[in-house]
């Protein structure tokens, strides 16, 4: 096979990018107002080039995350640099056409083009190369991260095995060691992360934004400060529910580990919540004293006993979507996805869904474990894939979700339908627990859905303050734990210093993925679910509704999915819910019976609320 030297490819790509932008750069320097035809040509050209570069970057990223080597890091960094630089340049040039008379469709494309970059590079080519290298290296550091207990005496553990240990061990000292071991991967990232912030802010200022955080917040069809206030409004609505759950869980953990380990009136030690990041608490469910119905079940045990393998887990998810009217996944999905962790190499195991060619090359990348948690995660990830396919007939700039929270919410909505009723219908359990078991079911859901809410806020609140300069590099870790205590009421198991960089132990920070989408998704999913259950004709407690098998609900869902990013998110929201704004009432109503029960338990057991 004839091979082409890598340096020639990079040089050729640079020449191609420079030559393709040259006419637009020349026009940008003109003083005359642009014509509508000129604006149309510019947008169409940008749309096609960003699609082509994005496809190359997507393929390079897939290889790099699944085969982490020195060479794949360079290849992915080169592709990311080309795509990111082009997106940044087009975003800058797009402002020339802000006042041009455009059709609604072209005006929407122009707006999306101005927001086409997540992390803009500065104009300087050396800075562009440096930023791409940093971004790729941080992601690789995370993927290669391991904890080696007792030096070389025991095998090193990757994040998949650490997650399993933290989910199942009830030895507080072992949990502490694992927590400390995993969080050590962040420290080497610290200086590069600070430099990345400098470069991204420089690029953002060239686009007219004060910093990267302002750019990220501008992508929600409202002014950035209005968006931040909207999030605070919704959080205050839900905070009382979280406080009740926090008080109950702390009391139950103190009952298990003792008040010397879990003091009342104090934040909960992060290593005791069943998850490396204390973001969801469903793995400590078995320690809770909620009333267990006679027909309770252990889905993880059932799946293992049935010898369900990774592909079988994914098949359950595909069958759900087929039941509501969606076409089966393409054969290439099964050929190209990663379902289990390879034994011979490092990969990034964080679950993700991919649409490599923006057409039908759908994939998931996930180190599947045969557990109830991963059963639900699979339904969630496939939600991304079906959303990607639903909008693939849209023009390239509209091939995305109404906002990033929608993409996350679709999969979460489907996961809400993984009810006992659904599990009985597909033959995984023999009987549905009676209504007397709803409190227990809602508690299990709350340990995942409600416990996550403040964590979903903290990741980006910390980054927004880092980007704005309010949090200085010398206080990265201190501020991280101050925010986590303020919002989550948790604390590290041992004192942390600025020699640590604990944010780096969470995938989305080194991978530079905006996180507010997950908080939004926790709200949207209940709005979506309430509307789809109404369409399905369901009457009864929302927690018992599954849209499995209902093609009417599937059709309504697909109507919204097929819009992609062609409409502002309030219009997309209205198409499925009839509402124009973020509404926490559906989530609050879903958990209202649990809130009453939690308040009663906290009072009866003298569990203090707050910290």
The full DSSP string for 208-267 is T-SSHHHHHHTTSSS-HHHHHHHHHHHHHHHHHHHHHHHHHHHHHHHHHH-TTTS-TTSP
State residue 13's pLDDT score. Answer: 36
Q: Are 46 and 112 found together in one domain?
A: yes
Residue 23 has pLDDT above 80, yes or no: no
Lowest mean pLDDT among 66-75, 277-286, 496-505: 66-75
Whether residues 167 and 110 share a domain: the answer is no
Compute the mean pLDDT over every residue in the chain, rounded to the nearest whole number: 90
**Quick one: average pLDDT of 244-259?**
98
Domain membership flag for residue 234: yes
Contact criterion met (CB below 8 Å) for 572 and 402: yes
383 touches 414 (CB < 8 A): yes
172 and 75 together in one domain: no
> pLDDT at residue 225 above 70?
yes
- What's the token pair of residue 366? 């996930």
Q: Is residue 485 part of a domain?
A: yes
Q: What are phi and psi of 268, to 5 degrees?
A: -80, 135
Find residue 438's DSSP bridge partners: none
173 and 88: one domain?
no
pLDDT value at position 31? 54
CB 570 within 8 A of CB 560: no
User: Model confidence at 6, in pLDDT bands (50, 70, 90)?
Assistant: very low
Q: Indicate the pLDDT class of residue 104, thresholds 50, 70 and 90.
A: very high
β-strand partners of 430: none
103 in any annotated domain: yes
Closest CA to 354 of 343, 365, 344: 365
pLDDT category of residue 19 using cuts at 50, 70 and 90: very low
Q: 184 and 264, same structural domain? A: yes
Question: Is 111 among the domain residues?
Answer: yes
Higher pLDDT: 26 or 477? It is 477
DSSP H or E run through 400: none
pLDDT reading at 301 higher than 70: yes
Q: In the structure, what pLDDT confidence band is assigned to residue 3 with cuts at 50, 70 and 90? A: very low
Q: Identify the pLDDT of residue 248.
A: 98
pLDDT at 601 over 80: yes
Q: How far is CA 367 from CA 312, 319, 407, 558, in A?
A: 14, 20, 21, 28
Same domain? 183 vs 283: yes
- Return the bridge partners of 363, or none: 354
* Average pLDDT of span 164-176: 96
Question: Does residue 124 belong to any structural domain of this protein?
Answer: no
Burial 284-302 (b: 16+ CB within 10 A, else e): bbebbebeebeeebebeeb
Nearest CA to 444 out of 299, 584, 310 is that of 299
For 463, the domain range is 162-191+224-293+447-505
Q: What is the pLDDT of residue 30?
A: 57
Domain final residue, candidates 461, 477, 505: 505
Q: How far is CA 432 from CA 250, 305, 409, in A?
A: 30, 19, 26
Q: What is the mean pLDDT of residues 147-176?
A: 89
- Percent of residues, the chain, with pLDDT higher than 70: 94
Q: Tell me the per-residue pLDDT of 475-518, one tens digit each, with 9 for 90 and over.
A: 999 999 999 999 999 999 999 999 999 999 999 999 898 999 99
Q: How far apart are the first and last CA of the chain?
A: 65
Instruction: Report the pLDDT averaged over residues 218-241.
Output: 93
Clarify whether residues 48 and 167 are in a common domain. no
- The reply to whether 166 and 289 lie within a common domain is yes
For residues 171 and 281, membership in a common domain is answered with: yes
Residue where a domain stops, chosen among 505, 526, 551: 505
CA distance 314 to 334: 10
- Does residue 170 share a domain with residue 110? no
Q: How confident is the model at residue 152 (pLDDT cuts 50, 70, 90)?
A: low
Domain boundary among 90, 117, 144: 117
pLDDT of 203 reads 92
Spatial separation of the C-alpha atoms in residues 63 and 9, rounded to whole Å: 17
- Let me know whether 184 and 85 are in one domain: no
Helix ranges restricted to H, 563-584: 569-577
Instruction: Compute how many other C-beta atoms are within 10 angstroms of the C-beta atom of residue 257.
Output: 17
The per-residue pLDDT for 589 is 92
Within a domain: residue 526?
A: no
Asked whether residue 260 falls in the same domain as residue 175, the answer is yes
* C-alpha–C-alpha distance, residues 404 and 486, integer Å: 26
* Phi, psi of 147, rounded to the nearest 5 degrees: -115, 130
Give mean pLDDT, residues 520-537. 96
Mean pLDDT value across residues 423-433: 93
Q: Is the pLDDT of residue 15 over 60?
A: no
Confidence of residue 465 (pLDDT cuts 50, 70, 90): very high
Q: CA–CA separation, 383 vs 407, rounded Å?
A: 8
Q: What is the pLDDT of residue 17?
A: 43
What's the confidence (pLDDT) of residue 360?
A: 86
pLDDT digits (tens, 9 = 90+) for 199-212: 999 999 998 899 99
Residue 4: predicted pLDDT: 34
pLDDT digits (tens, 9 = 90+) for 350-385: 889 999 888 889 999 999 999 988 999 999 999 999
In this structure, are residues 334 and 382 in contact, taking their beta carbons and an 8 Å threshold? no
- Both structure tokens of 319: 């069958």
Please tell me the predicted confidence (pLDDT) of residue 287. 96
Listed in sequence order, the residues at least 6 apart from 413 whose beta carbon sits closer than 8 Å to its beta carbon are: 383, 524, 525, 528, 529, 532, 557
Instruction: Report H helices in 496-546.
Output: 516-535
Residues classed as catalytic: 350-351, 380-381, 384, 408, 508, 518
477 located within any domain = yes
Of the candidates 484, 488, 462, the residue with the CA atom closest to the CA atom of residue 475: 462
Backbone angles phi and psi of 411, in degrees to 5 = -65, -40
Residue 248 lies in a domain: yes
Question: Whole-prediction pTM value?
Answer: 0.85
Structural domains in the chain (count): 2
Helix axes 6-28, 36-66, angle to 10 degrees: 160
């Amino acid at each position: 096979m004839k091979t082409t030297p890598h340096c020639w490819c990079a040089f050729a790509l640079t020449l191609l990018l420079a030559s393709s932008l040259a006419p637009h750069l020349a026009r940008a320097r003109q003083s005359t107002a642009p014509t509508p035809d000129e604006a149309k040509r510019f947008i169409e050209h940008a749309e096609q080039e960003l699609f082509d570069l994005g496809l190359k970057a997507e393929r390079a990223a897939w290889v790099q995350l699944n085969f982490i080597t020195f060479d794949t890091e360079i290849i992915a960094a080169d592709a990311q640099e080309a795509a990111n630089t082009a997106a940044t340049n087009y975003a800058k040039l797009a402002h020339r056409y802000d006042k041009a008379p455009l059709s609604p469709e072209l005006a929407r494309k122009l707006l999306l083009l101005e927001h086409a970059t997540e992390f803009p590079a500065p104009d300087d080519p050396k800075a562009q190369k440096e930023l791409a290298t940093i971004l790729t290296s941080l992601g690789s550091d995370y993927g290669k991260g391991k904890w080696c207990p007792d030096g070389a005496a025991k095998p090193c553990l990757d994040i998949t095995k650490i997650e399993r240990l933290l989910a199942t061990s009830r030895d507080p000292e072992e949990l502490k060691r694992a927590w400390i071991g995993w969080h050590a991967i962040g420290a080497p990232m610290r200086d590069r992360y600070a430099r990345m912030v400098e470069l991204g802010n420089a690029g953002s200022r060239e686009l007219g934004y004060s910093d990267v955080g302002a750019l990220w917040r501008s992508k929600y069809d409202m002014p950035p400060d209005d968006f931040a206030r909207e999030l605070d409004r919704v959080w205050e609505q839900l905070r009382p529910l979280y406080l009740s759950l926090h008080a109950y869980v702390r009391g139950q953990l103190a009952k298990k580990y003792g008040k010397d380990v879990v003091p009342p009136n104090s934040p909960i030690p992060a290593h005791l919540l069943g998850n490396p990041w204390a973001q969801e608490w469903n793995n400590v469910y078995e320690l809770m004293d909620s009333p267990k119905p006679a027909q309770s079940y252990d889905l993880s045990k059932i799946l293992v006993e049935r010898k369900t393998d990774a592909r079988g887990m994914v098949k359950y998810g595909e069958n759900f979507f087929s039941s509501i009217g969606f076409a089966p996944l393409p054969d290439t999905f099964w050929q190209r996805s990663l379902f289990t962790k390879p034994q011979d190499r490092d990969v990034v195991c964080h679950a993700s869904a991919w649409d490599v060619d923006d057409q039908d090359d759908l994939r998931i990348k996930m180190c599947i474990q045969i557990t109830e948690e991963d059963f639900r995660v699979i339904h969630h990830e496939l939600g991304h894939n079906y959303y990607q396919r639903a909008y693939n007939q849209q023009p390239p700039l509209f091939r995305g979700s109404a906002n990033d929270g929608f993409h996350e919410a679709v999969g979460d909505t489907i996961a809400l339908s993984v009810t006992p009723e659904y599990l009985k219908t597909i033959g995984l359990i023999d009987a549905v627990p009676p209504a007397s078991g709803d409190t227990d079911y809602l508690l299990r859901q709350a340990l995942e859905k409600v416990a996550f809410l403040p964590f979903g806020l903290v990741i980006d609140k910390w980054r927004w303050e880092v980007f704005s300069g309010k949090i200085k590099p010398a206080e990265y870790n201190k501020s991280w734990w101050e925010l986590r205590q303020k919002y989550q009421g948790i604390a590290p198991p041992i004192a942390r210093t600025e020699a640590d960089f604990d944010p780096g132990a969470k995938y989305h920070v080194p991978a530079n993925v905006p996180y507010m989408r997950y908080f939004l998704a926790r709200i949207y999913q209940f709005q979506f679910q309430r509307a789809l259950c109404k369409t399905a004709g369901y009457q009864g407690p929302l927690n018992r509704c599954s849209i499995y098998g209902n093609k009417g609900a599937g059709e309504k869902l697909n109507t919204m999915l097929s819009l992609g990013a062609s409409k502002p998110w309030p219009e997309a929201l209205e198409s499925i819910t009839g509402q124009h704004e973020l509404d926490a009432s559906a989530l609050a109503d879903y958990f209202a019976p649990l809130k009453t029960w939690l308040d009663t338990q906290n009072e009866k057991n003298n569990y203090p609320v707050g910290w």
